[in-house]
Amino acid sequence: MKLFSPDGSELMKIEALERDGELLLLKGTAFGAMPITAQLRPQEMRGGFSLLNLKLLCFVISMLFRR
């Protein structure tokens, strides 16, 4: 999975998701060169879900079925 900036350049390429106890680890490269491991904690995941409203949630689900 790749994350892009508004100008289309690659910000981060996520190569693996792993569980480490209560954490979710995202492993990949940032800016195409720098290896990075990011931790997603349960409280941060809940905070992310609080950013979603019904309209945005429907859009995110519909993205799974788009090309």
Model-wide pTM > 0.75: no
**pLDDT of 5 above 90:** yes
Task: Report the pLDDT value the prediction gives residue 32, as an integer from 0 to 100.
Answer: 86
For every residue of the chain, which 3-state class applies, written as one string?
CEEECCCCCEEEEEEEEEEECCEEEEEEEECCCEEEEEEECHHHHHHHHHCCCHHHHHHHHHHCCCC
What mean pLDDT do residues 8-14 have?
A: 93
Every domain of the chain and the residues it spans: 2-63
Average pLDDT, the chain: 94
Encode pLDDT of 29-43 as tens digits. Answer: 999 899 999 999 999
**pLDDT of 18 above 90:** yes
